[in-house]
Structure 1
Amino acid sequence: MNKYKIPALIFGVVFVVSAAALFFYVKKDLGEITGTEVDAPAWVTKNGSSGKMPISGKVARSGNSIKPESEKQAETEIKTNNNKIATTETTEQPSNKTVQTPVAKAVDKIKETIITEVFLDNLAQYIADSYHPAGTLPYRAKQDFSSASFKGINMHFGLNLRGLMPEAENIVTARKSIWSYLLTTGNLDALSKSDTGPLLDLIEEKGIFAERKFTEGDSFSTRELTKTQRAEMFRSSSIPLKHVAAVLKAVADNPDLMQALDSYIKAEKRVDSANGIFQLDLDNSRNSKSESTRNKAAHSGKILKDAITIREKIKTGITQKIKSYCAGACDKPDDSFYIAQWVFRRVHNDEKKLKAVAAGSEVLSSIAARMIERAEAIEKSM
Structure 2
Amino acid sequence: MNKFKIPALIFTAVFIISAAALFFYVKKDLSEKTGVEVDAPAWVNENGSSVKMPVSGKVAKSGNEIKTTPGENITAEVKPEKKAEEQKPTEKPAFKADNNTASSPVEKAVEAIKETIITEVFLDNLAQYVADNYYPAGTLPYKSKSGFSTASFKSINMHFGLNLRGLMPEAQNLVTARKDIWSYLLTPNRLAELSKSRTAQFLDLVEEKGIMAERRFIEGDSFSMRELSRAQRAEMFRVSAQSVRHVAAVLKAVADNPDLIQAIDSYIMASKKVDSANGIFQLNLDQSRNTQTESARKKASHSGKLLKEYITIREKIKSGIVEKIKAYCAGQCDKPDDSFYIAQWFFRRVKDDEKKIKSIGSGSKILSGVATQMENRADAIERSM
Q: Could you tell me the TM-score, scaled by structure 1's length?
A: 0.70
CA RMSD of aligned residues (A): 1.7
- Give, in whole Å, the separation in 2 of the partners of 1:158 and 1:175: 7
User: Is 1:188 matched up with 2:191?
Assistant: yes
CA contact (8 A) 2:114 2:169 kept: no
- Could you list the per-position Cα deviations for residues 249-274 of structure 1 after superposition, in whole angstroms to 9, with x for gaps in the alignment? 00011110111100000000000000
CA distance 1:308–1:333, change in 2 (3 Å): farther
Asked if residue 299 in structure 1 is aligned to residue 302 in structure 2, the reply is: yes
Using the alignment, how far apart are the partners of 1:371 and 1:334 within structure 2? 22
User: Which residue, out of 120, 125, 147, partners 1:122?
Assistant: 125
Change in Cα spacing, 1:336 to 1:358, as seen in structure 2 (3 Å) is same
1:337 and 1:255 map into 2 onto residues whose CA distance is 15
Structure 2 residue 384 is matched with structure 1 residue 381: yes
CA offset at residue 333 of structure 1? 7.8
Q: Which amino acid aligns with 2:212?
A: F
- SS state of the match for residue 371, structure 1? helix
Q: Within 2, Cα distance between the matches of 1:354 and 1:138?
A: 39
Note if 1:157 corresponds to 2:160. Answer: yes
Shift of 1:111: 7.9
Cα distance in 2 between the residues matched to 1:250 and 1:212: 36
> Match for residue 222 of structure 1?
225
Q: What are structure 2's unaligned runs of at least 5 residues?
A: 1-107
Which has the greater radius of gyration?
A: 2
Matched, 1:326 2:312: no
Task: Give the share of equivalent positions with the same residue, in percent.
Answer: 72
The correspondence of residues 222-261 of structure 1 with structure 2, limited to 5 A, is 222-261=225-264
Matches within 5 A, 1:124-143: 124-143=127-146
Q: Secondary structure at the match of 1:177?
A: helix
Q: Distance in 1 between matches of 2:158 and 2:211?
A: 26
2:338 match: 335
Are the aligned partners of 1:185 and 1:359 in contact in 2 as well (CA < 8 Å)?
no
Aligned pair partner of 1:174 in 173, 177, 186: 177
**How many pairs were matched up?**
276
Partner residue of 1:265? 268
1:158-208 residue CA offsets vs partner (Å, 9 max, x unmatched): 011100016443322322221111112210011011000000000000000
Q: How far apart in 2 are the matches of 1:291 and 1:226?
A: 71
Q: What SS class does the counterpart of residue 223 from structure 2 fall into?
A: strand
1:316 and 2:314 matched:
no
**Which of 161, 185, 208 does residue 211 from structure 2 map onto?**
208
Distance 1:188 1:202 in 2: 19
Instruction: Kindly indicate whether the alpha-carbon contact (under 8 Å) linking 1:184 and 1:352 is maintained by their aligned counterparts in 2.
Output: no
What SS does structure 2 have at the residue aligned with 1:114? coil
Aligned residue number for residue 351 of structure 1: 354
The residue identity in structure 1 corresponding to 2:346 is V
Residue type at the aligned position of 1:321: K
Contact 1:246–1:328, Cα closer than 8 Å, also in 2: no
**1:235/1:375 contact within 8 Å kept:** yes
Structure 1 stretch 299-308 or stretch 323-332: which is displaced more? 323-332
Q: Hey, what's the Cα distance between the residues in 1 that align with 2:201 and 2:347? A: 31
Corresponding letter in the other structure for 1:155: M
Contact 1:114 1:164 in 2 (8 A): yes
CA separation in 1, counterparts of 2:359 and 2:266? 23
Q: Residue deviations 1:31-71, cap 9 Å, x none? A: xxxxxxxxxxxxxxxxxxxxxxxxxxxxxxxxxxxxxxxxx
Classify 1:328/1:111 alpha carbon distance in 2 versus 1 (closer, same or farther; 3 Å): farther
Pick which of 370-379 and 344-353 moved more.
344-353
Q: Aligned residue for 1:289? A: 292
Indicate how the Cα distance of structure 1 residues 333 and 258 shifts in structure 2: closer, same or farther if over 3 A, else same: farther
Alpha-carbon separation, structure 2, partners of 1:274 and 1:109? 51
Say which structure, 1 or 2, has more relative contact order (CA 8 Å, 6+ apart): 1
Residues of 1 paired with 2:239 and 2:187: CA distance?
30
Deviation at 1:350, TM superposition (A): 3.4
Q: Which has the higher helix share?
A: 1
